[in-house]
Each structure stands twice: as structure tokens, then as C-alpha cells.
Structure 1
Amino acid sequence: MKIISLDPAQCRPEPDAGMGALRTERGNLPLESVDVAARISGLIAGVEVTQGFRNPFDVALEATYVFPLPDRAAVTAFTMEADGRVIEGVLKERGQARADYDRALSEGRRAALAEEDRPDVFTITVGNILPGERVTVRLTLSQPLPYEDGAATFRFPLVVAPRYIPGAPLDGAPAGGGVAPDTGAVPDASRITPPVLLPGFPHPVRLSLRADVDPAGLELREMASSLHVVEREGTTVELRPGERLDRDFILRLSFEASTALLLDGEGTFQLTVVPPALEEARVPRDVVLLLDRSGSMTGWKMVAARRAAARIVDTLTSGDRFAVLTFDSVVEQAFDGLRPASDRNRYRAVEHLSRVDARGGTELLAPLHQAISLLTAVPSVEERPEAAAAGSARDRVVVLVTDGQVGNEDQILEQAGGALSAMRVHVVGIDRAVNAGFLGRLAGLGAGRCELVESEDRLDAAMEQIHRRIGAPLVTDLSLKGLDLEPDTVTHLGSIFPGVPLTVSGRYRNGFTGQSTARGAGPVTGGIIDRDTSHASDQGAARHEEAITIRGLAGGSPWEQTVPGTVVSNPALRAIWARAHLRDLEDRYAMGEHDLESRIVETSTTYGVLCRFTAYVAVDTRQVTDGAPEHRVIQPVEPPSGWELPAMPAAPSGMMFTTMAAAAPMPGGFAAEVSGFDDSGSGRPVRAAGPAPRLRPAGMPKLGFGKAVPPQAPVRHQLDLVLPQLVAELERLKTVATDRLAYLADLGSRLAALASYLGGHDELSALAGELEAAERPGADADALWARAVEVLTRLTGGSPETGERRPFWKRG
């Protein structure tokens, strides 16, 4: 064999490239650039996100990019631009949109698809990009800015962090092309787990972000960016060149908000109520503090989480009782049960917290069930208002400190959401790429607050706010009166907390047919808000006699405030309401109301706002290739900033890049894999051999931990009330290998109890009666076992083969 010597000058190694990682002048990844242009006006931001793709290969390409957007943003438009042509996207039911996309590719036409997989995780797929060709896609969105303690926050996420994926792998084709297999707990795991680049990967995606700020008539005192270096010119802020897509962009704007009622003239309202000057009610509390100690919390996040948890313990008073649980794959307690918040017990809790370090996986269901169990034995203020005056009722509070990086959000909502909605849930999210969408959903269920901490520098300021929020709210039991409201359209009212204006939106009948003609009122085009039309204080807004009265209880006494309406020409109000309303409907779907699917699709398409049940599809009319693309690439993402990742072994020869290493345990207990593109030209990810381990919480849910449909929601079927218990029974039944007859007899008694709890259920009662035969001589254990599996599978909505409900994005 002849060895040819090479000139070192012609073969310079790439820095940080690793073994087997090569670079050509054309590159090897399709995403070239991400451009974010925001126009902030008052408490609303209009944003246009532009993503540029280029095909560096010699064959037609399909490129997929999994990326985040703000969880409350309403995506209202999608376009694809290629070869000088601009194709407008059409919003359709998700299955139909994907069918249109696949058909276009098979016919050799360009197409692009925009899908939502979580409130803050989206996927863009662009197919039949010709060799050397550039394709640009644009998303238009509107988002509300949260406002607390005199400052509004514009938070724009830039990377989807790795998420812990529990559950046993499912058979069959994956739902997506990510690195994690789909599981029973996360049936779309392969859609939300893009491959991750090695730290320091050269030639990152070119990022630009610009925010133009209009205070909308208010005095803008300060603008500050906490995680990026920015360049400022007047009221325009721009990222310094060279920044990477590895953490959230956060811009805080200091100004004074005011109480206002905005009417869009077409039946949508938005009410903002500044907290009244009231003394906080002092109600004894039962507080369960949950601290996430999983591997993804390694480093500064664990230090900040321990400090935050200790500060929360210090806020407790002698009239409170509390428990402290730390969790990863197991749950540990500082002490048993709820204990009085004495100096001694608080010291014991802080001492326990000081010894906590990061390890294991983020099994969140088990500690939530345990917290619910500790708190359900005590009557709440809402359940016994007459006892509050006597001091016997207690406020039930759950405080969760975590980064929220889990994939089984829907499972958690289904099995714990109903019980949490009867308590107050506060969440402290700690990360530079936090799962804000899920944490906000949890806090919203429990009428609590979600505080996000992106750095240790921000911790002290955030803890001052958290201290005030964990106390009793200023006003509870809120209701609206004044407009002829459309039923089931008002977003969650919650409670009014110190320093946090309440924002509520909804639909009302007899909407105004005319638009304001006052001077300065201009149109809103493309979802980007014109400066003169977005706030009640603008000259383009006109007063109207319509008003809303908000009522509630402040310290047990009636409280109300009447807010006059202002008509504004701002379509963003309708889009933002529709997005919030869709999120409420999707949460109810996740908690068991599966008959809402058609309503969700109708709402999404009627108001032109993307959701998980719909998708935007843009299809070119021209044929550019002979058929479907020959190569497929999933764009890898940056490792999140601030994450301490394990050491990475060199990549196997032939891979174009590597992700997290299979030989090392991943943060947060994520399924560790080596991924890249194989050499066959298929572009499919390469996975490490072997299934991911099955990880489940210790103990299964018991009666009372299941979801309860929120009071305003119609119950789809009485069986929904015990569906989580039936799913748990079915899972346990499938693992029984010995002494089946005794187990089946016990199962029959439990099913009879569930049927009784429902007030009678024919199928459950019948199955319980059949299982009584397990106690008789000569009973056929195999036949009874098969019968129980068949009935429970049918009742839980799964198929007899897998027992799993097929998710809506995988239905035929």
C-alpha cells in the first residue's frame, strides 16, 4: 500500500472539530442565518423571524429545523421565498397540511411546512431545495410582554434545550427525526430532541436580532439586556455580531403601566388591571417546596436553585406549615409530612438543601403527586371560606424550582393538572434557555406566578419578587361584568398579586363595526404593530362608552373596579387572544377532553393563528426536480449556554458532526446517544444501539391524583374523571407475571370502587364482576388477564396491540 504524504499547509485542522469532522468551503449544515426583527409598542411586540437555508450538497435537499418561539406568541403568517418567487403559506388542519407537503415533494415541487410541537417549540421543514440554492422562510407573530414591578420583559428564546424523556420506547416509525425515541410518556419525543452540536462548533449560524421600542406615550426610563451584549441607538437595540443561538434574548423595559380596557372594534377586548393599593391578607399557609436536582441543573443553576429554595423557606412564618422535597429519579424529604415553620424546622430544611447536588433524571410526576397528597388532607380557603375568618382554613401552595426541561408535559398535565388547579402553584424557572411555556402552564393552572431567573446576577432581584408572590394575592375570586361576553372565551382570570398587573382578554358580542378615524390611527400590516396604534394612550385610540367591571374579594371583603373602554385599530389584540384561548383549549385536551380537537382546529383556522393541531404549508406551483429530495438533514442546535456538559469522545469516522456522547451520562438523565448523518445519503440521524431505559416515578397515581376538568369545561365523559387511574392499572396489569389470579381479584375490587366513584359505569362494573371469578376454583388466569387487558385498553382509548393512544399528529 502506497502512502502519499500531504503538505501540512494544505490540510490545516479545524479548531474544536474533533476526529472525523471535516469542513468544505460549502459547509455541511443547511441553516445559514436567523434574523429576528421586533417592533415593541407598549406591552405588545410584533416580530418577524427570517430563516435562511442553503443546500451545500449535489442533490436536492430537505432541511428540518427545530427551534423555539415565545410561548405566548401568536404565529399569524408564513411565507417561503425561492428563485425570486414568494409563496404564501396556508393554515390547515395539521394532517392535511402534511399530506399537501408530502404530495408536493413527491411531484418534484418546492414546499415548506411550519408546525408547533409545544407552545414554545416549532419545526420548519423545507423540501426540494436545489443544489447550491438558497430558500428563505418567514414567520410573522405577535406577542404580549409580561409586566411586573414597573418593567416589561421582551424574552425571545433562541435554542431548544435537551429535555428529559421518560417512558418505554414505542414500536413503529418515529414521529420525527430527532435523537430520542418516541415513548409511551412522550409519543412525539423524536420531534422535540434535535441533535446537539459539540461545544465550540465552528462557523455557527449567523444571528441578527433588532428591537425597535416605542413606549406608546409612556415614559421609558431604562432598557437593559441581561444575557447579551447589545448596541443601542436611541430606542433601538441590536445584538452585537457574532452571538450564537445558545440562550434566550431578554430585554427589560422600565416604564409605568396603567389600567386600561382595549377594544378592537371587532369583538375582542384586552383588560389590564394594575394592582390596587391594598394590604396583603395574611392567611396561614401549607407550603410544599419542590427542588429539581436532576443532572440538567448542574453548575450555576444548582447553586441558584439552592439559594432560591433557602430564601423561600426563610419567608415562611410561624403560622405556616411546610415540607421540602428534592427530586431527580427519586424523591427525598427534609422531614416527614408537613411541619410547623419553626426556627428549628426551617434550619433543618435549609441544612438539607445545602447538601443537594445535581444528578439523575427529571421525574417530575412523582414529587407533584407527593405534594398533592400532603396538601389534599387540609381544607383550603376556597373550600371553607367560612373557616378562614376563624383561622382554621389554610392556603395550599406548591412552589416548584426547576429548569422545566422535560418532554412529558402533556402527561404531567393529564395526571396532575386537575389536582393542582385546586391549589396555588408558583414556579421558579432557572436557566438561560428555560422551558418557559411549560412552567407558565403549570403556574396558570394553579392561579400562581412564574418567575424566570436567567443568571445568578438576576437571582436577588427575582427573589424579592418571589417573596411577595408566594404570599396571599391581593384580590381573588375574580369575575367580569359589563360586556356581553361570549361563553368560554375569556382567558384565565387567576388572581391579582402585588406588583403584577392582571391581563385578561376575550370575545364579546355586538362588536363595533367601525374603526377609529382619529388622527394617527394607521393599519397594522403583516402582524407588525405600527407605533401609533397599539396602546390606549395613543392618539389613534378613541374613547367609547363601553366598560368592564372587575369584581373580587380582597381580604374577604368585596372589591370592584370599573374600567372604561378604548377602541384601537390593532389586529394583534385578536391574534394574542386567539393564541391564549387555543392554549387553554389544548391544555384541556391534554387533561382528557379529547372531543375538543375539532373545536381547536376551527378556532385556529378561523382566527389564523397556528396551534398544535394545525400547520402552515407553502407549496410552489412549479416542478423543479423529478421527485422527492434525495438527501434529508436535521439542523443540529447549539448546546445551551451555562450547561455543564460531559466530556465528549471523538466522533466515529464518517460522521459529519456529533451530538452528546453515548459513553457519558447526559445532564438531566437524558437518553445518551451519538448522532449524526449516516454515509448512505439518507440524511437520517444515527442513533446509539439499544433502547433507552424505562424510567418511571416510584408508585403509581392513586384515586384523587387524576385530572378534574376545570369547572368551566364541559365533561366529555364521566370516564375522564378516572382515566389516569385506568391507564396506571393497565400498565401494572401488563407487568404481572406470577400469581395472576390474586392480582386479578384485587383489580376487580379496585375497578368496582372506581365504578362506584363515578356513580355507576356499566363496562367497569361488568369487568369487575367477571374478575370475581379469579377467586373461584379452576379459574382461567390467562383468559381473565386477556379480558382485563382488552377492556382497559378500549376504555383508555388505546389499541389492543400497544395499549397506547395514537397522538393526533400520527393518526391516519
Structure 2
Amino acid sequence: MTVQITSLRPGEYTPSPDAGLGALHTGKGNLPLENVEVEADITALTGGVEVTQGFRNPHDVPLEATYIFPLPDRAAVTAFRMEADDRVVEGVLKERGQARQDYDQAIAEGKRAAIAEEERPDVFTMRVGNILPGERVTVRLTLSQPLPYEDGAATFRFPLVVAPRYIPGAPLDGAGAGDGVAPDTDTVPDASRITPPVLLPGFPNPVRLALTARVDPAGLDLTEMRSSLHVVTEEEGLVRLQPGERLDRDFVLRLSFGASSALAFVPDRPAGESADAETTAPAGEDADGNGTFVLTVVPPADEEVQRRPRDVALLLDRSGSMTGWKMVAARRAAARIVDTLTFADRFAVLSFDSVVERPERLDPGLVPATDRNRYRAVEHLARLEARGGTEMLQPMEQALALLDDPERERVLVLVTDGQVGNEDQILERLGARLAAVRVHTVGIDRAVNAGFLGRLAGLGAGRCELVESEDRLDEAMEHIHRRIGSPLVTGLTLKAEGLEVVPGSVTHLGSLYSGVPLTVYGRYRGAGRGTLTVHGLLGDGRPWERRLEGRPARGEAPRAIWARAHLRRLEDRYAVGEHALEQEIVAASLRHTVLCRFTAFVAVDTRVVAEGGPRHRVLQPVEPPSGWEMPGLAAPMAAAAPAAFTTAAAPMAFRATAEGGAAPAFGGGPEAVAGEPFAKRLAAPGGRMFARPAVAPPAPPVPHSLDLVRPQLAGELARLRAQEEALPASERRRYLADLGSRLAALATYVGGENELRGLARDLMACETTPDADLDALWRRAVQVLTTLTGAGNAPSTGGGASAGQTRAPGRRTSFWKRG
């Protein structure tokens, strides 16, 4: 059977005018990246992908090439290989600092080497060194990714370009951490590692792109495939990208088929197969277990749900990067959200760029969702145009301040492209408060910052919807509308029978929504057999459960996908202040051979091929993202944030360096370089822009006084006491688990208050512990919070800062290590 591939909708992917963006000619030849090949094997709801990058040295001296590129934000990178001169070198996953040291030493010794590092969940850096003149070197990355499923369709999304990001903050002195065009700042200390230069118009396509996807429904009824790019069906189950496509937007393939509830047990190695001592621990010795289970639960049939009154704060990004179709789509999305509100709801609309604005004809704060107020909000939205920089932290703080009534359903909706560099600062400042509200993110872009938006939605237990064209907006907003509404089943817990589930290994359970199957990963010990029962509550308080018998399965993807989700959860906790987790993150990454921000894959050849190391270095420029109006962004963004810099702030040209390489020139020509202080800061002696990162040990986290969070603890205590009599017994488990997540964030903020941290840990564990004594936990929570909020009776913060202490000025600790 051959499945017809159709376009998503007429006009959904309007081709950008072919301006001939491409190869950059330098004093010694063309750019090093020749081709990118993506081969995907899609089996049901899982994708296995191999990414191949081909580099060639067109110069007459040894070359080091650097390429900043994207990968799917939920993908687990599990293998790395370098091929050159008929030699194949398998990469090894190591702690990031050690991997860098091995790479730099090999390069200095004249050996070929390559290193792959993660900068953000969806931004990576590849460095390939000592490529000989005329030589080709190929590097291959292997990864696994889950396919999100909703309304009868799964989505395979593969990003192809790193879009420019807004970089706030004051530039830091000294050498940059990377080779990019933006300086490191006090709020984005690794900005120079996530900002590749952008190509100018006027050149042919510099990189050959090939993408194929083999689709195996694995027994599911596949009825349709829809693609965002021009593809052809050459044979059954094979999708191939047409030649000549550019690396300027995400590739999206949607597969329509029915899903069903299922439970699969995937052992780390098949029964009877000898264990690989380097990759698989013997039975009973792996702290994370001996197998991975994958649980898929289809929600019950849609039915009427009792809904609490809602408070909705809507944030709309109107910054310069939202120019064009994105601004049109964002206005439509925001207006659709406002239109879904009922008379029982209250809402606020905040639009932001470098400043925050609210509708002039509405009172400040939350207003009732009357017809008049909704009309005035939509009228305000219709007048918004893109301008300025993306200062996202302040509007989010203002929105969270409005959502302070625990008796109402609190919802924050963020509509943006997410192109900011200070993700870690936002998470650190807001992590504790996001856990108390439902956060939904709508990412509008053809090269969206999906990793950051997914992390925000995850912290707020909400939805992240990605919109790659205006025509897909209606479908996306239907999903968001359901999320803003009440879930079908809440308070989900798991009960295992005949199966030993590793404590703390189960991924987030969340709630069940109409049309959205829930997929849960976890680890088990021993034999993969038994059942899992999912318990929850319907909207009217009636109990609901689904019991599933497990079946054996094989494959490496489930373990890798679970490990990446586990690492992401630990990294998010690190980002909000739990810096003691670093060694645990590194250990988990190495144990499961899954790349993260604290590890790196490095491949080193044993043969010496060049004396003295590479004499020429090139940072590969990238395509302007499709749909971006780059020249139109120059004036508003530069005027709004003169201390910050983004690659979208001005058209980019290049100048020749002393080595015959290429460095960016700002303002349209080489004559502008000398007058740009940040360009001077980026350049190393001799005009090169590729200095190695400076070694700077990370500063310890700065704890805060317990006094700063006592008002929040008092509020939690008051709510806890008020809920003790009013809350039905069936809701107590979910309430205590949610409370634990908020207290954990507060404990991190104050620097590790032991009693508070211990209480938080036990409260969160009750959600996955069926026999937990909820009454005893409730009494303990009241006792601990009473003690911590008592006048003059608060325990020590364990070395925390005194009251009023603030963070010292200067360089802020970055999430990844600069050294």
C-alpha cells in the first residue's frame, strides 16, 4: 500500500523568495560544511535518527571547523563517530571538561579530533579539527526521539537552523566562551556559543541537504502523511526531501493513525544475551534498574467536565523577531484565547518587547471576562506591531503576581518565538512560582526555541504548542483551548503488581486531556512482567482507573528517551539553584550514554597528521530562518537594547581576517568593524574570532535568607489549613504532591534548608507511593511550616545569606561550565 503525501494546507509553507543565500567566499576559499544528511526510521511513536555532517577543507593549511546546529529538544544523542581517510573513530562520552581537554590536547598534537557539545536542549556545537587541505571528514550523530501524539496524529519534527536569539544583559569583559557573534553577558554568559553568524543574500545554496524518513506504523492504521516541505513518495513507507531545499526551517511530518493504551517492557539487553561490561551493568547492580517500561494511556471519551472559575494571564511577545507572519499569527492566537473565556473567568493581557503594555481601556490587573472587556482586549491586540527587544522576565513576573488566588484555576499563556538567550536566568528567577500555576506556551516560528518553551510548560505542568505557519494556528489553538479548560482525569497515580518500579524513575504523570494520550516512561528491576494500574479522578470526583498488562518489547530507544527526560528534569532543577546535582547529572549521563549539558562526545584519532595544530579556523554561518525579515529588525531592536546584541539586530557582512578567514562586520561593511567595541572583544590577537574559552571556575550558588520566602511559606500554611477540612480525601494526594514541588523550589532558593527540603521530598514522593500515610504527611507539613514561619523561631538556613543579601555584581555562574 502507498500512502499519499499531501501538503499540510494550501499556503501553509509559502516559500521565501530565493535570494541566493549561501556560500561565503573568504581569502582562502569557501565554507567547510558541504552537506547535511538526516536519515530517520520512524516506528509507531518513536523515531531513530542518524545525522551526518560532511566537512571539507578548501584551504592549503590544516583547518578547524565549528558548526552551531539544532537537534530536536527531546532527542537523546547516544552515539558519535568521525570518519576520515578510510579511518573510523568511535566517539566516547565524557564529562564535558575532560572531553574538551582531550580534544584540545589532540588538536595541539596534530591529531584529527571532533567534539559534540550541547549548549541548550535544542542547540549543539560541533568542532572538527586538523582537517588536512583538500580532505573530507564526516561526523555522524545517532539519536532517538519520541513523537508527540494528539487528535489522531503523531508529529516528527526535525529542526534545521539555529535562529537568532535576543541576548539581554551587559557584555562581560575578557575572551568569549565561544566563537559566535554576540558577546557573553551577565545574564547570558554563554551567548557567544549560541549565536552563529547569519549569511548575507547574494550567494548560492552553500550546503546540500538530504532528508529521508522511513515510516513503519508497527501495526497501527496509518491513513495519511502530511509534510511541511516538498517531498515525494518513491516507495511504500519512504519519504524523501526534494533536492535543493535549504537549512532554513524545521522539517515537520505528521502521521495520522489511531493510538491505543499499551504497556511495553523493554529490557536493557535481551534475555540470554551476554552483557557488555562497558554499556550495561549486571543484573541488580544498575541503580536505575534493568529495563524501561513505556506506558501509553488513551483518555476516556470526552464528557462534560465541571470547571472552576479561571484567572488567565495572557502574555504576547511583540519584539522585533516577531515581524511578518509571526506577528499576525501571534495576534490571532491571543485573540482566540481571549474569545474562549467565559463570564466566570477573569483575565489580563500583557504585550511586551523592551517594555510591558496593557490595554488602555481596561483596568490594571485581572478584569471579568465580559463581552465588553474581551472586545477591548482584542481591539488592543489588533493594533500591535513587532518592535524592540525580547525582555521576557519582567512581563512573566508581572503575570505571576496577578495569579495569586489559589481558589481559582490559575493559567499563564505565553505566545512567543522563544528566541531569548537568558533561559537559565528566567528559570532561576521564576521556577518556584511557575509550579503553582498552569503554564501553556505557544511557540510561533519555523525555527522555534522549542527546548526553552517546553521547559517552561513542563515546570507549570502545561502544554507547549509549536506553530510553524499561520495556517496551522487553528489546529494548535484547539489544543490550547482544551488545556485552558479542565482535564478529563486528574490526580493520576500508578500502582504496580508483579513489577518492581525503581522509586523516583517515573516521568511526569500530569493529567489526561481529551484527544491526548499520556505517555509515561519509567525504570524497573528484575524480570519485565506484571501490570500497571493508572488511578485518577474524573471531573465530578468519581474514581477512574485503567489496568494494563505488560508485553515484552525490544529496542534501545525507550531507555535513551527515558534517560534524556530524567536528565532534563535534573538539569531544570540545577537551573533553578540545586547546583549540588552536577555530579548526579554527569553520572546518569555517562551510565546511560546519553549526551547532556555536562558531558560531551569526543572522538580522537591516534594518527598525527598535522604538526602544530590547525592554522586556520572557520565558524560556519547559517541560513536566515525562513519567514524572518532580517533587515527590518535592525532599527527597533538596536534602539531598544543598545547594551545587548543579537544577530538579528543588523544585516551581517564579513571581513577577511589576518589568517584569510572570515569575521563578522556589523553595519554592512568592513569599515564598521573598527568602531564596534563588542567586535573587538570577540576578536583574539591577529584578528581571529576563535579564541578558546577562558578557564573560569564556576562561582558557588548564592543562598538567600529564609526571611525572603516566609511570606510564601505562610501562604502555603494558610492554604494547607484551609484545605484540611474542605478538600475531598481523593484530592489530598495530588494537593500534597503539588505542595511538595513548590516547597522544593523554595528550599533550593534559600540554599538548602534541610527540614524544608526533606518535607518537600516526602510530599512529592506520595504521588507515586500508593501506601503513603497521607494524614501523617499532612500533619507533618503543618508542623514544619508552622515552625518555619514562627516569629524568632526559624532554624538556620544552613549557611544561607543574611537578610537583605543580594547577588554580588559581575559574572554570573553559567549553567554549563565555561572552563
Residue aligning to 2:428: 414
What does the per-residue CA deviation read over 1:224-264, in whole Å, with 9 as the maximum and x for residues that have no partner? 10244445532211111000000000000000011111111
Q: How does 1:17-56 map to 2 (within 5 A)?
A: 22=25, 27-56=29-58
Percent of paired sites with the same residue: 66
Alignment of 1:681 onto 2:659: yes
Q: How does 1:306-345 map to 2 (within 5 A)?
A: 306-334=331-359, 335=362, 336-345=364-373
Of the three residues 289, 301, 321, the one matched with 1:296 is 321
What does the per-residue CA deviation read over 1:492-535, in whole Å, with 9 as the maximum and x for residues that have no partner? 112111111111111122244xxxxxxxxxxxxxxxxxxxxxxx
Residue aligning to 2:417: 403
Q: SS in structure 2 opposite 1:170?
A: coil
Shift in CA distance, 52/758, structure 1 to aligned 2, threshold 3 Å: farther
Q: How does 1:460-479 map to 2 (within 5 A)?
A: 460-479=474-493
Q: How does 1:420-435 map to 2 (within 5 A)?
A: 420-435=434-449
Decide whether the 8 Å contact of 2:99 with 2:602 is kept in 1. Answer: yes
Of the three residues 64, 85, 88, the one matched with 1:86 is 88
Aligned-partner residue type, residue 538 of structure 2: A
Of the three residues 160, 163, 174, the one matched with 1:172 is 174
Aligned-partner residue type, residue 515 of structure 2: G
What does the per-residue CA deviation read over 1:733-784, in whole Å, with 9 as the maximum and x for residues that have no partner? xxxxxxxxxxxxxxxxxxx99997964448668x55xx9xxxxxxxxxxxxx
Q: CA deviation at 1:142?
A: 0.7
Alignment of 1:690 onto 2:703: no
What does the per-residue CA deviation read over 1:449-508, in whole Å, with 9 as the maximum and x for residues that have no partner? 111111112112222222222211111222111042222221111211111111111112
Residue aligning to 1:443: 457
Q: CA deviation at 1:333?
A: 1.2
What does the per-residue CA deviation read over 1:577-635, in whole Å, with 9 as the maximum and x for residues that have no partner? 00111111101110111011001000001001010000000000000011210011000
Residue aligning to 1:368: 396
Q: CA deviation at 1:154?
A: 0.3
Decide whether the 8 Å contact of 1:362 with 1:668 is kept in 2. Answer: no
Q: SS in structure 2 opposite 1:264?
A: strand
Aligned-partner residue type, residue 552 of structure 1: G
Of the three residues 267, 285, 289, the one matched with 2:291 is 267
Aligned-partner residue type, residue 382 of structure 2: S
CA separation in 2, counterparts of 1:505 and 1:46? 17
Q: CA deviation at 1:712?
A: 6.3
Of the three residues 593, 600, 604, the one matched with 1:619 is 604
Q: SS in structure 1 opposite 2:412?
A: strand
Decide whether the 8 Å contact of 1:30 with 1:56 is kept in 2. Answer: yes
Decide whether the 8 Å contact of 2:81 with 2:603 is kept in 1. Answer: yes
Residue aligning to 2:382: 354
Q: CA deviation at 1:28?
A: 1.2
Aligned-partner residue type, residue 329 of structure 2: A
Decide whether the 8 Å contact of 2:166 with 2:390 is kept in 1. Answer: yes
Q: CA deviation at 1:678?
A: 3.7
| RMSD, aligned CA | 3.3
CA separation in 1, counterparts of 2:316 and 2:411? 14
Q: What is the TM-score of this pair, normalised by structure 2?
A: 0.77
Aligned-partner residue type, residue 633 of structure 1: V
Residue aligning to 2:813: 805
CA separation in 1, counterparts of 2:168 and 2:741? 29
Shift in CA distance, 676/119, structure 1 to aligned 2, threshold 3 Å: same
Of the three residues 543, 553, 556, the one matched with 2:537 is 553
Aligned-partner residue type, residue 677 of structure 2: G
Decide whether the 8 Å contact of 1:16 with 1:200 is kept in 2. Answer: yes
Aligned-partner residue type, residue 59 of structure 2: F
Alignment of 1:506 onto 2:522: yes
Decide whether the 8 Å contact of 1:361 with 1:670 is kept in 2. Answer: no
Residue aligning to 1:137: 139
Alignment of 1:589 onto 2:617: no
Alignment of 1:194 onto 2:196: yes
Residue aligning to 1:252: 254
Q: CA deviation at 1:115?
A: 0.6
Shift in CA distance, 344/551, structure 1 to aligned 2, threshold 3 Å: same
Decide whether the 8 Å contact of 1:78 with 1:137 is kept in 2. Answer: yes
Q: CA deviation at 1:20?
A: 13
Q: CA deviation at 1:684?
A: 6.9
Q: CA deviation at 1:202?
A: 1.5
CA separation in 1, counterparts of 2:429 and 2:792? 20
Aligned-partner residue type, residue 532 of structure 2: I
Q: SS in structure 2 opposite 1:581?
A: helix
Q: What is the TM-score of this pair, normalised by structure 1?
A: 0.78
CA separation in 2, counterparts of 1:432 and 1:177? 25
What does the per-residue CA deviation read over 1:102-129, in whole Å, with 9 as the maximum and x for residues that have no partner? 0000100000001111111111100000
What does the per-residue CA deviation read over 1:106-158, in whole Å, with 9 as the maximum and x for residues that have no partner? 10000000111111111110000000100000000111100000000000000
Decide whether the 8 Å contact of 1:67 with 1:159 is kept in 2. Answer: yes
Decide whether the 8 Å contact of 1:286 with 1:322 is kept in 2. Answer: yes
Aligned-partner residue type, residue 615 of structure 1: A
Aligned-partner residue type, residue 376 of structure 2: R
Decide whether the 8 Å contact of 2:537 with 2:543 is kept in 1. Answer: yes
Aligned-partner residue type, residue 301 of structure 2: A
Which 4+ runs in 1 deviate beyond 6 A?
Answer: 15-21, 660-669, 704-719, 752-758, 762-765
CA separation in 2, counterparts of 1:38 and 1:454? 20
Number of aligned positions between the proteins: 678
Aligned-partner residue type, residue 493 of structure 2: S
Q: More deviation in 232-241 or 248-257?
A: 232-241
What does the per-residue CA deviation read over 1:265-301, in whole Å, with 9 as the maximum and x for residues that have no partner? 2321111111111423322111001111000000000
Q: CA deviation at 1:644?
A: 1.0
Shift in CA distance, 716/62, structure 1 to aligned 2, threshold 3 Å: farther
